[in-house]
Amino acid sequence: MRPTMRFVPVKSEETQRADMVFQVRELLIRQRTQAINPLRGHLAEFGQTVPQGVAIPRN
């Protein structure tokens, strides 16, 4: 019926698992950033400056 239709091979369970872990990790990173940015903004209103990024070096 459709001579130009292309078929995609079925993904293995291991490949699906790895893709799922990657997607969940990316979601968690985005959510972490969404939480940190407003917090930095609120702290800046009170004169507290916090460096960008998640990891803050401690002395």
How do residues 5-55 score in pLDDT, each as one tens digit?
A: 888 999 999 999 999 999 999 999 999 999 999 999 999 999 998 888 777
Q: C-alpha 28: how far from its chain's center?
A: 5
Q: Largest alpha-carbon pair distance within the chain?
A: 69
The pTM assigned to this predicted structure is 0.68
Tokens read off for 27: 């979601």
- What is the C-alpha to C-alpha distance for residues 54 and 7, in angstroms, rounded to an integer? 43
d(CA 24, CA 39) in angstroms, rounded, equals 23
